Structure 1
Amino acid sequence: MTENEKLTPVPLSDAIDKFIQRVGLTIAWAYVVLVLVIMLQVILRKGFASGMIALEELQWHLYSIGVMFGLSYAQTTNAHIRVDLFYSRLRAKTKRIIEVISIPTMVMPFIIIIFLQGIDFTYESYRVNESSEAASGLPYRWLIKGVIPVSFALLALAVISRFIRDITLLIKGDD
């Protein structure tokens, strides 16, 4: 099985992946809004010599939302980047064993740390009512910081789905 092929069906994992993919496709509309905001900012800056700081910050926020939620989408579609120098040449069973070992020992601890730190980061921003340092910038900076724990929770769910899929297929012996 190559990395771009469809994953072998496992009902629980398929249901989780479908949910995450729906969320990802919904969040992807942020890129449409991003393009419109960029176009508006360019028109204001080049056509009227008056760009807006709030639009500049909104661009960063929209791009961040797409990237952060794109992580879980990429995990469920098996489109994330690996070091394929060796991995691509391995048999499906060997790849699954690597996934089953690496998910609980490396991936989940990383996700948990970022998730927990993201909660603290967001809470502190909310507590002090953090806003842009620019006078005409965006308020409520905790909203964009809140994307960190939410997107990493979704990524954790995607990784758990992958773990379930790989364990199930190793037990079934499906290559």
Structure 2
Amino acid sequence: MSGEIPEISGDVIAISDPGERDRQSHLKGDRIVIAFGNLVAWAFPILMLAIVSQVILRKAGFNQAWLDDAQWWIYGFAMVTGFAYAITTNSHVRVDIFHANYSPARKARIECFGLGWLLLPFLIMMTDVLFHYAWSSVLAREGSDSPNGLHGLYILKASLPLLFGLAILATVSILMRHLVQLAPVRLWTLLVAMLPGAIFAAERTIYYVLWWGVRLTNAGIKPKRISKEPIFEWTTWMGAAVVLTLILLGWLMARRKGAEE
């Protein structure tokens, strides 16, 4: 026995740590998601300790409602964070009986469609919905149903749109990694790859800009009446026009640059 510690290869690390797999291809957004996920992963030992403590205390006749709440808080926060982490590391459950045998280019096209046209619109929609959900909870200072529970439930709910924003970052980053196998990653090619999500994001942005514009310029109008103004019937078309204009301009600029070269 020489007493020397054998060197651990990068392949072994990649197997044991999904965040290190294909690290050389990771973008900055990927590393942010992985770093945050690794940090939040330490919540699971705390969750285990909370569960064991509550079981022991309950058996001893000293039930602690705040420990029950803490378990749900920790589990909820960690699992939603894990959603973004799984997107980045491709460690979510998937059935790829056919996908595994496809060529890299075909895989990239399928991934771009699934991520940009299916997943991303859902994440943007959920972020928008959860923002209102969280804001209502914050205004009400929502707490636990139990008098002895944790009474800052609104803090947990306020984190939900932020964590879904993290999932959006994860989706866009991995989408760019797949897109580079098909075409140069430019703003217009990225917008095409995530067209439904881009249009929805543009529509929501225009909607809120108009909403606050009407709110600030018409002091007497009730908030519930603002969205019924005629201009809000056109926000979807406005969002589509903005995105399609950016795509067209980007394509024309790329074509002109290619002709000059």
Which one of the candidate residues 138, 146, 163 is aligned to 1:134? 146
Task: Give the alignment of 1:1-175 within 5 angstroms.
Answer: 6-7=21-22, 9-10=24-25, 13-46=26-59, 48-171=60-183
| Gaps in structure 1 of 5+ consecutive residues | none
- Runs of 4+ more than 4 Å apart: none
CA distance in 2, matches of 1:8, 1:92: 18
Post-superposition shift, 1:68?
0.3
Q: Report the Cα distance in structure 1 between the residues aligned to 2:31 and 2:66, rounded to whole angstroms.
A: 35
TM-score (norm 2): 0.60
Q: Number of aligned residue pairs: give it.
A: 166
CA distance in 1, matches of 2:167, 2:183: 24
* SS, match of residue 88 in structure 1: helix
SS of the aligned residue for 1:50 comes to coil
- Larger mean CA deviation between 132-141 and 156-165 belongs to 132-141
Indicate conservation of the 8 Å contact 1:16/1:161, yes or no: yes
Larger radius of gyration: 2
Deviations 1:19-57 (A, max 9, x none): 1111001011111111111121122112x2121111011
Aligned sequence identity (%): 30
Letter in 2 for 1:42: V
User: Secondary structure in 2 aligned to 1:37?
Assistant: helix
Structure 2 letter corresponding to 1:134:
S
Matched residue SS, 1:82: coil
Output the TM-score relative to the length of structure 1: 0.87
